[in-house]
Amino acid sequence: MQKRILAFDLDGTLTDSVPDIAAAVNRTLAARGFPALPEAEVAAMVGDGLQPLIDRAFAAVGSTPDAAAAAEYLADYESKVAVDTRLYPGVADALDSLRADGWTLAVCTNKPERAARLLLEALGVADKFAAVGGGDSFAAHKPDPLHLRGTIEAAGGSLDRALMVGDHHNDVRAARGCGVRAIFAGWGYGRPGMEEGAVAVAKDLPALVALAGELLPA
């Protein structure tokens, strides 16, 4: 039997990571004399990758980023990747339950791959994933379906035996673009309407585990 793949977004799906993202953004802004942004404002900037995050943060203070800003932010963030970031409640149990049921797990995130791996390691769950596809791992990233397709293939699976879980419209669009069904993570950073196109919305992690089993039985 071909393995079943469950691909997860990271920020806002597995982890509540905005506190550390916002802190690094604000240190990058402060180094240039700009005021700090509220965490809630930064949360709305997350999901499209590194450069869009930096562009949006600088736009919010009425500026544009200099050539060094993105690299400076990333180095700072990677050095403090899990100060206040936590797994969402129920994530660890859900991952163990899914693996016990025969699922192969992967991460498909627009966060740079090294930062994603550092975060997963710091939170003690890196060994639960067969593949990590970061925003810089392939020639394109979400919502381009190439990103999800590459991640699923790296995990040793195929599109017809895979599901995508995420809290952003990019997750849903990437999944639909390669014929994979998406489950929207209702507990994350998503805003109303982002779930459009998903086959289901999971209100919490236990609901996700049940939905995955119903959509793609062993």
What are the residues whose beta carbons fall under 8 Å from the beta carbon of 92, sequence distance 6 or more? 125
- 42: helix, coil or strand? helix
Name the active-site residue from 9, 11, 16, 171. 9
What's the token pair of residue 149?
A: 């397709």
**Catalytic (active site) residue 48:** no
Q: Is the dihedral of CA 169, 210, 87, 151 positive or negative?
A: negative
- Number of CB atoms found within 10 A of residue 184's CB: 27
Residues 8 and 128 sit within 8 Å (Cβ to Cβ) = no
Partners of residue 105 on adjacent β-strands:
6
Residues 53 and 29 sit within 8 Å (Cβ to Cβ) = no
What's the token pair of residue 35?
A: 């005021």
What's the token pair of residue 10?
A: 């990271």
The span from the CA of 42 to the CA of 90, in Å, is 24
Nearest to 57 by CA among 20, 18, 12, 26: 26
Catalytic residues: 9
